Chain A
Amino acid sequence: MVDFFLSPLQFQFMQRGLLAVVLVSGLCAIVGCFVVLRSMAFLGDAMAHSVLPGVAVAYLLGANLMLGALVAAVTVALGISFFSRRGSLREDTAIGILFSSALALGIALISTIRSYAVDLSHILFGNVLGVGPNDLIWIGVLGISVLLILALAYRPLLVLAFDPILAATLRLPVERLRALLLIIISITIVVSLQVVGIALVAAMLVTPAAAAFLLTRRLPAMAAASAIIGVLSGVVGLYASYYLNIASGAAVVLSATAFFLLAFFFSPRRGVLTARLRNLREGQPPKIVS
């Protein structure tokens, strides 16, 4: 039994991979609470995909890939608010346009690189076993900064998420807080790139937080539960990928989905099946949850 857990760790790349997965999935899960509560799931996905041209440009220029990704994510996020704030476009339309354009631009750029098939799949789906010591330091530093900023701006971000009208009447700097949240999400996505890849990072932002939402009653508890679910999914996914020989990013995301389904059906307060059971036990006809 002990062997089951320890034997993969005899490889250094597995040790680093495990550490990276734990850090990244914990971070994504906590930031994801705000993504879920502000209904930004689609935006998060769009920002993740729009990272591609940034990575490609950085690759072509020989610059830092993470930096390129970060610049691209922030640019697209600001572009979305620019197009939708003018009032003539709905936000989801603006997201749909910018996100697919950015993805197309990224693919166009990468297709000019000779060996693009391999690189593209690493960017799209992640390569946790290729995490180097330097990457780990970057993940750690950026992750801790994001969590610190979240802790400092917790109250205004909470008000903004719950009731933007109150935030405005309290004279909180609403626009700057919105931008801050977008930057936090961008950094989180960029940090997660290597572990889950741009195609799957949205799942790490949304799924553990959604499961935690079903299980808890207050935001701090939700963030804690989300982090636990995220980290567990990361660890379970990585071991599954080692023993079943499947892609690590996909394994992590599928584990998170499994946790979400458990919460959806069996959450004591909001679970679909628990509500049915309660009704049956109390002798009432089952209520259809809409």
Chain B
Amino acid sequence: MTDKELIPQPQNAWLELEHVDAGYNGSLALEDLSFHIPQGVRVALVGPNGAGKSTLFKVLARLIPLRKGEIRIHGLPLGHHCDCLAYVPQKEEVDWQFPVTVKDVILMGRYGKNKWVGRMNKQDNDVAMRSMSQMGMSELADSPIADLSGGQQQRVFLARALTQEPHILLMDEPFNGVDMTSQEKLFDILDDLRNKCVTTIVATHDLNLAMKKFDLVILLNHRLIAIGPPSEVMRRETIRQAYGSQALDLGEMIVVDECCKE
């Protein structure tokens, strides 16, 4: 029960965005984005394709510079101290033919912190081994990553992120092309992270999951459409506002058509 006591009150905002503008050359992918996320909650980030979900992650991970506004973690501006932030990109972002083993990849999570030369110390190894077994990857430690299935690749990425011991974990579409076992494993880990007071932000297309499994939902389409508990955000009007004509009203439920873009 001690784990529970660690969870701060919801009014303690630990990730704060104020009037954030961001984008690639020329065009703005995100405009005037402001919201607060308390520590230790599980957030679903939803919105249509091209809404700026990945851009938001890349700005938070400092892969794209901020155009305007301010981002604060633990009350300090982004980049001001150790950001304690891990980012699990879509698994298509790396070359899975690369000659490294599962264990090599997971240990990369410890390469920051000035560990350039010499052996990894015992703590580094312990953390890596623990996250590996948490993700059920221990038997595959010495397999080349080229031999992994899609779900296993996702698990390696998550294990590596856990090895970074983040305070904030960003995941881009972790449920895409993943089998049920991997998905359940993922939610076990997310439960565990919530107990450890780690904030997780998960970009997903799956509105059903966002509705059922998350504490907070951010609905995004270039601008912030809504943020709040799923029951408040996942309402007909707000979904229609974000998805436009992609949202189909079926009377009792609303369905978002992701494959036919106008």
**Chain A residues within CB distance 8 Å of chain B:** 37, 87, 152-156, 158-159, 161-163, 165-166, 168-172, 213, 216-219, 221-222
Residue numbers in A under 8 Å from B144 (CB-CB): 217-218
- Cβ of A169 and Cβ of B93 under 8 Å apart? no
Contact of A165 among B85, B87, B95, B105 (CB under 8 A): B87
In the docked arrangement, what's the CA distance between A162 and B115, Å? 17
Q: Knowing A165-B89, A218-B99 touch, does A170 contact B112 (C-beta < 8 A)? A: yes
Q: Knowing A152-B116, A169-B62, A217-B99 touch, does A158 contact B87 (C-beta < 8 A)? A: no
Give chain A nearest CB distance to B190 CB in angstroms. 20
- Cβ of B61 and Cβ of A168 under 8 Å apart? yes
Interface size (B, Cβ < 8 Å)? 28
Residue numbers in B under 8 Å from A158 (CB-CB): 100, 104, 108
Residue numbers in B under 8 Å from A161 (CB-CB): 98
- Cβ of A155 and Cβ of B98 under 8 Å apart? no
- Cβ of B61 and Cβ of A162 under 8 Å apart? no
Q: Knowing A165-B93, A169-B62, A218-B99 touch, does A159 contact B87 (C-beta < 8 A)? A: no
Main secondary structure of the interface of A (DSSP, over half): helix
Residue numbers in A under 8 Å from B63 (CB-CB): 165, 168-169
- Cβ of B99 and Cβ of A222 under 8 Å apart? yes
Contact of A169 among B86, B95, B146 (CB under 8 A): B86
- Cβ of B98 and Cβ of A37 under 8 Å apart? yes
- Cβ of A219 and Cβ of B99 under 8 Å apart? yes
B113 (CB) vs chain A CBs: closest residue: A170
Q: Knowing A156-B116, A169-B85, A218-B144 touch, does A162 contact B101 (C-beta < 8 A)? A: no
Contact of A172 among B104, B111, B117 (CB under 8 A): B111
Q: Knowing A169-B87, A172-B112, A217-B144 touch, does A163 contact B101 (C-beta < 8 A)? A: no
In the docked arrangement, what's the CA distance between A216 and B117, Å? 24
Within 8 A of A (CB), among B103-139: 104-105, 108-109, 111-112, 115-117
In the docked arrangement, what's the CA distance between A214 and B71, Å? 45
Interface centre among B61, B94, B99, B100, by most A CB within 10 Å? B99
- Cβ of A168 and Cβ of B111 under 8 Å apart? no
- Cβ of B112 and Cβ of A162 under 8 Å apart? no
In the docked arrangement, what's the CA distance between A217 and B101, Å? 7
Q: Give me 20 other A-B pairs in contact (C-beta within 8 A), A162-B108, A163-B93, A216-B99 excluded.
A: A87-B25, A155-B108, A155-B111, A156-B111, A162-B105, A166-B87, A166-B109, A166-B160, A168-B61, A170-B108, A170-B112, A170-B164, A172-B112, A213-B99, A217-B99, A217-B101, A217-B146, A218-B100, A218-B144, A219-B99
Within 8 A of A (CB), among B41-87: 61-63, 85-87
Within 8 A of A (CB), among B210-236: none
- Cβ of A152 and Cβ of B112 under 8 Å apart? no
In the docked arrangement, what's the CA distance between A254 and B162, Å? 47
Contact of A162 among B87, B95, B146 (CB under 8 A): B95
- Cβ of A171 and Cβ of B117 under 8 Å apart? no
- Cβ of A168 and Cβ of B62 under 8 Å apart? yes
Residue numbers in A under 8 Å from B25 (CB-CB): 87
Q: Can you list 9 A-B pairs with a CB-CB distance of less than 8 A?
A: A155-B116, A162-B100, A163-B93, A163-B108, A165-B87, A169-B85, A169-B86, A217-B99, A219-B104
In the docked arrangement, what's the CA distance between A221 and B164, Å? 26
Residue numbers in B under 8 Å from A216 (CB-CB): 99
The 3 closest A-B pairs by CB, nearest first: A170-B112, A217-B144, A87-B25
Residue numbers in B under 8 Å from A168 (CB-CB): 61-63
Q: Knowing A168-B61, A168-B62 touch, does A218 contact B101 (C-beta < 8 A)? A: yes
Within 8 A of A (CB), among B159-190: 160, 164
Residue numbers in B under 8 Å from A213 (CB-CB): 99
